[in-house]
Amino acid sequence: MANPLLADWDAPHGLPPFGQILPEHFEPAVEAAMQEHRSEIAALGALAEAADFDNTVAAFDRAGRRLARIAAVFQTFGASATSAPLQAVQRRLAAPLAAHHSAIHTDAAFFARLDALHGCRAELALDAESLRLLERLHLDFVRNGARLPEPERSRHGQLMQALAELTTRFAQNVLHDESSWQLPLADAAAMAGLPAFVRAAARQAALERGVPGAVVTLARSLVVPFLTFSERADLREQVWRAWVGRGESAGAHDNRGVVRDILRLRQELASLMGHACYADFALADTMAGTRERVDELLQAVWSRAVPRALAERAQLEALRDSAEPGRAGEPIADSDWRYWAERVRRERYAIDDAEIKPYFELGRIVDAAFACATRLFGLRFQRRDELPVYHPDVVAYEVSSAAGAPVGLFLQDNFARGGKRSGAWMSALRWQTRNVVGSVAAQLPVILNNNNFARGEAGSPTLLSLDDARTLFHEFGHGLHGLLSNVRYQRLSGTQVLRDFVELPSQIFEHWITEPEVMKQHARHWQSGEPIPDELIERLQRARRFNQGYETVRYTASAMLDMALHARTQVEPPADVCAWEAAFLADAGAPAGCGVNHRLVHFQHLFAGSSYAAGYYVYLWAEVLDADGYDAFTEAGSPFDPAVAARLLRYIYAAGNSVEPNAAYAAFRGRPPRLEPLLDKRGLLQADPA
């Protein structure tokens, strides 16, 4: 049978024939594409001509395109539309794909040519982007073991294969726990306190799972509002325990041993590469560079966030004690914090999500994101429902410039469902590049955004919280980073930048959803069409720093856990990672009741892959940049100032990895970043938790 993954893809934009692809197509297609890639690299290494930039560096950047496109489809199905057969294929292919990656980056003949060019790079008279590519590719090879002697080089490959298998298992275990748990809401008592939008989402979740009535699942867009509004403390505790307990249940899906195995292998890898710990290895190729710089930032924020969270907790307990005198003196439980925080917010600012959400209908917020991109960067978005997509939820948009020139294709997949992992993310089916062979002038990007919003009932809209709207804008910021990329080489394209720079384009874009003029235009009541009232916008602005001690503690504690765990130099990881986690938080003075964003056993940033391992701090690092960077618009007097937007486009969104990130930021801002805008944004410069 013909394999659609290996055929020419003749759909518009080179989209794959999603509807023809079956799980059994991936293994033979990936194997054929890996063989083709190995042959390409072997041919480059065997060239008789002396190495030069074009026949070695640029040629490597063009190699492996078939494998890249197949792997992108494989990853898309695995994350967004998986099944038991596909998960089995993922487990079988994890090690071979890692082995292939290692083989490519330790090919001795090719590396000898690349290494020679790198050694004389100052004499090659390369333009800045070409020099950047040579330096980045050389570093890729070195960090993947190309300079290791045997048998260390072979051991490096074995470690990467074993880690690929373990991280695949970790992610699948979390998905199992998320998709298999539900809390039935059997009667009116179980629904007590829930606004209409939460009840509707729970009924829709039950319908999608084929069960009667209403259920709470472990989709974040259901968990958070349930914990916020449910008057049933016993049910809140059940939901909270299931949410924080993902990956911790004994049995086939227990991640505790998986985490230990990953940590053990990462420590061996770091030692093999000449580092005392995995954190040092990971940070060597970041803006931060060292643990000391990361710790300095984390402690600067932690020392301010903890007192703020304690003050917030006192407010919550005071209100709780007055409402429920029998509980006076009890500490606020983790499962209760959001509920009482919402009560305080309503009392102090006359705001609750039930009032806000009718103004944040999903379609209007998508339109708002597009409109901001149009005003800032001149982009145009045209919906194309006839294009092939991998799931009916996915909406495709052709993206063009103000002059009508094609920019790329944007695919948006917004809803939570079975077979889709939790969280929100951006990915690419194809990266932008001008390094192509033949008559094609450039390869345009195909960019995906995934969210996990709770779908509204049939005939009713999907309403977002303000946090949901920020998430949509955040991921769209990543999407713009991919779509607006304007570089020559694929390796430097889009979001393929240093990890602590990659969150800047996404986080700075979040600012526009809370701009009053954006809300006045796009935040309209889903029934009446009336714009959000000025008075409600003012209340939202006054409340923007509310509960930020809690939110900052949760994030910073997770980042500190990550860094401390990967900074250990012992070969053996903690015998009980959950006990280690609890002890670390107690020693750090984490306020009771706050919890963390991610416990280790379901911390997918760290253990479903390696990209954010010893790197969860990057959101805070990038927030320093985004808070300081957005002030450039404030100083210019308009959130759409054309001169500032032009610099943002040129140096941040379009530059990819063609410019060193500190230099890119300084070119945009005119100076290095400052910490104070971040502290002010989170309300950590003031003593009052208002």
For the annotated catalytic residues, the residue numbers are: 475
439, exposed or middle or buried, with CB in 10 Å at 0-12, 13-18, 19+? exposed
CB-CB contact of 415 with 452 (8 Å): yes
If 0-12 CB within 10 Å is exposed, 13-18 middle and 19+ buried, where does residue 671 land?
Answer: exposed
Mapped onto helix, strand or coil, the DSSP state of residue 191 is coil
Q: What are phi and psi of 99, to 5 degrees?
A: -65, -40
What is the CA 210 to chain-centroid distance, rounded?
Answer: 30
* Distance between first and last Cα of the chain: 65
Say how far apart CA 424 and CA 219 lie, in whole Å.
11
The secondary structure of 652-663, three-state, reads: HHCCCCCCCHHH
Specify whether the CB–CB gap between 247 and 141 falls below 8 A.
Answer: no
* Cα distance between residue 280 and residue 292, in whole Å: 10
- Give the Cα separation of 375 and 379 in Å (integer): 8
Q: Exposure string (b/e) for 34-45, b if CB count within 10 Å is 16 or more?
A: beebbebbeebb
Which token pair is 461? 């809209």
Place of tokens 């800032």: 376
426 beta partners: 449
User: 425: left (phi > 0), else alpha (psi -120 to 50), else beta?
Assistant: beta
Residue type, 35: Q
Considering only the C-alpha atoms of the chain, give the largest distance between any 2 of them, rounded to a whole number of Å.
85
Selection from 600, 154, 606, 293 nearest residue 284 by Cα: 293
Q: Looking at the chain, how many residues does it have? A: 690
Distance, in Å, from the CA atom of 236 to the CA atom of 228, rounded to the nearest integer, reads 9
Round to whole Å and give the CA distance between 227 and 238.
10
Distance CA 498, CA 289 (A): 11
> Considering only CA atoms, which of 398, 495, 416 is closest in space to residue 15?
398
**What single-letter amino acid sits at 55?**
N
Distance CA 100, CA 79 (A): 21
